[in-house]
Structure 1
Amino acid sequence: MPTGNRFIFLLVTGVLLAISACTEPFEVETTDFEDILIINASITTETKRHEIFITRSYEEGDDEVQVSGAMVEVLVNNASSIQFEEASPGVYRSTVGFAAETGIDYQLRVTDEKGETFASPQVQLTAPTTIDEITAKRVLNEDGEDGVEIYVDGTSTGDNEGYFRYEYEETYRWESFYKPLQGFRIVSESPPLLEIVYKEKEERVCYVTETSNRILIAETNNLAEDEVVDFPVRFIERRDRRIAHRYSILVKQYAQTSVSHEFYQTLKSFSSSDNLFSQPQPGLIVGNVRHMNDDSVKVVGLFEVVSFTTNRFFFSFQEIFGNDIPFLDDCEFDRYSSLSDPELFQRVQSGQYKYIGEDPPLVYQVAPARCVDCTLFGSNEVPDFWEEQ
């Protein structure tokens, strides 16, 4: 791969990792590596301590560069400011919780660790939106895979530009293949000896939460009505473990400006490796952050103040697929006839194997821990929002 294309790929990767970006377009050079600041700053109507992410472009083989030691603030109507403090390298969190308000001018200002100052123009909160409905339907995707597609309907309730961005957070119930109430306890290491005791923690049913990592954008500016209908946010194959039992998705909808939409549209295009490597000129990255005194200093940054709404949806495997076969785990087991067996002791001590039962009595069955202990993958605490059928 030519050096220039490698740099563009790594720059886009860095932006994707921070999900950020840059009001007038600039063309990214494709010849040599350039040290470019990357800023991801999104303020929403959710009351919280908002976070701003600052990284740098990096060369092939290097780790992502988190920027530490920056000074970050958001100016409010040019009269006051909200300060952000460094919570961890590359992450800057507001010192107070707040929510974006209508009719207020917000401006981002960042001074990096090198003393260079960057700023956005003044921006205002986009108009409110609503998520009208979330649905799930059994479909065959473009690859012919049988699964469930999750759709969202959304509407703008104000004078928006007709651009929407989506994220989601999915939570699903994870059930261990084996569900014993008892387990091994080490009695002695020399000589090796185990005993069977009742478990002190729940290892049978857990809950796993994962967040989206794709760019999901929609537009309605060319439609008669400012609404999104049946926009696909998530496809899950029928035998995916996520939907083997019960599944929940929290869809987040953001009302965006044309500047934000153009940036994410370009970034989405760049994130396709086939598309990226086939273009001799990768194109333009658009955003709204600039160096305060020198326009030749490149920065990839987008500061947006967006209306935000959420909706949660649940379904179980049977509701979508009826009596079809869901995910099936591959969990074999071994047998031992003595609790002092050296091989059994070594396996248990390593934490890789656990007790699942006796069959026949005094013949001890063990299986890989991943088949017995769901806490290796999620939390055994039921989320506050969880609903069963």
Structure 2
Amino acid sequence: MRLPHSTLCMSALTRLLMGCWLLVLSGCVEPYTPEAVTAPSNYLVVNGFINGNGTTRIRLSRSVQISSPSVFPAERRASVAIQSLSGQRYPLTETDTAGLYTSKQLTLPANQSYRLYIRTTSGREYASDYAPLKLTPAIDQLQGRVQSNGVQLYLSTHDDQNLTQYYRWEYEETWEFTSAYESLYRYAGNNRMVQRKEDIYHCWRFIPSTTIVTTSTVRLAQDAVRDYRLLFIPLASERLLSRYSVLVRQYALSQAEFDYWEAVKKNTENIGTLFDPLPSQIQGNVHSLTDAQEPVLGFVGAATVVGKRIFITRADLPRDWIPQHEGYELCTGLDYWPNSIKYKDYTMDDMFGDSVYRTPVARQGTVYTMQTMACVDCRLRGTNHKPSYWP
């Protein structure tokens, strides 16, 4: 059974006994599938949090067996709402993305506690525990500092009221890049080449963070995070070729939510060796109101969100750094039409009719240079639509 952000595992003693048993029967090995793995699994998975100063986004899905494809079925057409302890209700509606529910832009009162309520089409009801809305302090500084082998991003924040103490961050990276070659022409059929009107040479790529980044100041004299090492970019990375940007979002957590994310982090990052902690089933704060014995996966906290974006340009970096054009390592040399040696017996339709393989690049007199689409169309690795926040 595959459970997002959670793992079921045998105890250390069971593992040891099984290891000894396998040694005894090393000549007779049969597949063993634990009952916990083969048991029916269709648990509700709740992913998201209550945003006190913006749009709340909640994704609902169902768990699947380990042997099943890694596609979690969406929980569709559910009734979802934020409820306050004092009785206010803020509905969420399902978007065009199946299982993704969003609210309007909200500014929730800070002196209230909130929970998420869910009713599925089958009539089953679920709710998270009520949680007081945490007010997230501002990010004091987000800075990239040049190291000998790359750029280290540092973050600093603090809370003078000493009320935060538990922090989590997510970030989204964006960078500008170009394809290996700029294609100025396209094949229009009937032996005709026409000039391109769409720029497929300049693109942008977006990568969200995939790691869980948390810290606590409980053991410190002050509720302050100074020069936290958030992200490292190697000097050879394509991200540093032209212009790079990172948007960091900061969340204040309750202790229970912090403990939840720490457990998720250990289960997803610290397994694989004999001395790593054994994975455990993670306890969230979402429960079934219909059947108290039904497992539900996920933790829904409530907090305001603050963000900060910075840019790093090529001019900010040492001149002797040579970032790599990642993804285009095999794009060397150009072929020619109609003087191609490799494709000398091919017609223009053979050469350019299937845009997946070849496309004209530039015209040199009566000859056209050509390359594969993978080497000239940057849209295969990003988007050619310039972000609204880009300079």
Report the TM range for the smaller structure's normalisation: 0.7 to 0.9
CA distance in 2, matches of 1:300, 1:277: 27
Is the Cα–Cα contact under 8 Å of residues 137 and 320 in structure 1 kept in the other structure? no
**Is 2:112 aligned against 1:104?**
yes
Deviations 1:188-214 (A, max 9, x none): 1xxxx132x322112222222221121
Code of the residue aligned with 2:360 in structure 1: it is Y
Q: Once structures 1 and 2 are overlaid, which stretch shifts more, 230-239 or 334-343?
A: 334-343
Task: Quote the offset at 1:159 in angstroms.
Answer: 4.4
SS in 2 for 1:251: strand
Aligned to 1:163: 166
Q: For the residues of structure 2 that align with 1:211 and 1:272, how far apart are their CA atoms?
A: 18
Change (3 A) 1:353 1:104: same
Comparing 251-260 with 298-307, greater Cα deviation is found at: 298-307
Shift of 1:268: 0.8
Count of residues in correspondence between the two structures: 352
Where 1:365 maps in the other structure, the secondary structure is: strand
1:298 and 1:276 mapped to 2: Cα distance? 29
1:55 paired with 2:55, answer no
CA displacement at 1:265 relative to structure 2: 0.6
Q: 1:304: Cα distance to partner?
A: 0.9
Counterpart in 2 of 1:354?
Answer: 359
Instruction: Tell me the CA shift for residue 276 of structure 1.
Output: 8.8
- Give 2:308's aligned residue: 311
Q: Does 1:40 align with 2:64?
A: no
Q: Describe the shift of the 1:86–1:178 C-alpha distance in structure 2 as closer, same or farther (beyond 3 A).
A: same
**What pairs up with 1:24-39 in 2 under 5 angstroms?**
30=36, 32-33=38-39, 34-39=41-46
What is the identity, as a one-letter code, of the residue corresponding to 2:213? L
Give the structure 1 partner of residue 99 of structure 2.
90
Describe the SS at the equivalent of 1:274.
coil
CA distance in 2, matches of 1:269, 1:289: 20
Q: Give yes or no for contact 1:75–1:109 (8 Å, CA) kept in 2.
A: yes
The corresponding residue for 2:3 is 11
Question: CA 1:105/1:280 → structure 2, altered by over 3 Å: closer, same or farther?
Answer: closer
Could you tell me which residue of structure 2 aligns to residue 26 of structure 1? none
- TM-score where L is the length of structure 1: 0.81
Select which of 275, 298, 310 maps to 2:295.
298
One of 84, 88, 97 as aligned partner of 1:76: 84
- Residues 173 and 228 (structure 1), Cα distance of their counterparts in 2 relative to 1, 3 Å cut: same
- Listed one character per residue, the Cα deviations across residues 281-325 of structure 1 (whole Å, up to 9, x for unaligned) are 633413222222543221112111112111111112342343221
Q: Gaps (5+ residues) in structure 2?
A: 8-34
Tell me the residue number matched to 2:204: 207
Equivalent residue number for residue 338 of structure 2: 337
Over residues 58-115 of structure 1, what are the superposed CA-to-partner deviations in whole Å (9 max), with x where a residue is unaligned? 1122321211232212112332311222224221222x33133311221221123442
**Number of the residue aligned with 2:188:** 186
**Is the contact between residue 62 and residue 74 of structure 2 (CA under 8 Å) also seen in structure 1?**
yes
Decide whether aligned partners of structure 1 residues 200 and 179 sit closer, same or farther in structure 2, where only a CA change above 3 A counts.
same
Q: Which amino acid aligns with 1:12?
A: P
Q: Is residue 147–residue 235 contact of structure 1 (8 Å, CA) maintained in 2?
A: yes
Q: Distance in 2 between matches of 1:157 and 1:276?
A: 41
Match of 1:129 in 2: 137
Q: Could you tell me which residue of structure 2 aligns to residue 327 of structure 1?
A: 324
Please give the alpha-carbon distance, in whole angstroms, between the structure 1 residues aligned to 2:274 and 2:82: 37
Partner of 1:64: 72
Q: Whole-Å Cα distance in 1 between the matches of residues 264 and 279 of structure 2?
A: 11
Letter in 2 for 1:194: R
- AA aligned opposite 2:294: V
SS state at 1:285 partner: coil
**Structure 1 counterpart of 2:28:** none
How far is 1:338 from its partner?
Answer: 6.2
Structure-2 change in CA distance of 1:128 and 1:12 (3 Å): closer
Note if 1:177 corresponds to 2:180. Answer: yes
**How far apart in 1 are the matches of 2:283 and 2:124?**
20
- Alpha-carbon shift at residue 275 of structure 1 (Å): 4.6
Please state whether the residue corresponding to 1:83 is helix, strand or coil.
strand
State whether residues 12 and 271 of structure 1, in contact with CA within 8 Å, keep that contact through their aligned partners in structure 2: no
User: How far apart in 1 are the matches of 2:37 and 2:312?
Assistant: 50
Is the CA contact (8 Å cut-off) linking 2:257 and 2:301 kept in structure 1?
A: yes
Counterpart residue type for residue 265 of structure 2: K
Q: Give the AA of the match of 2:186.
A: F
Q: TM-score w.r.t. structure 2 length?
A: 0.81
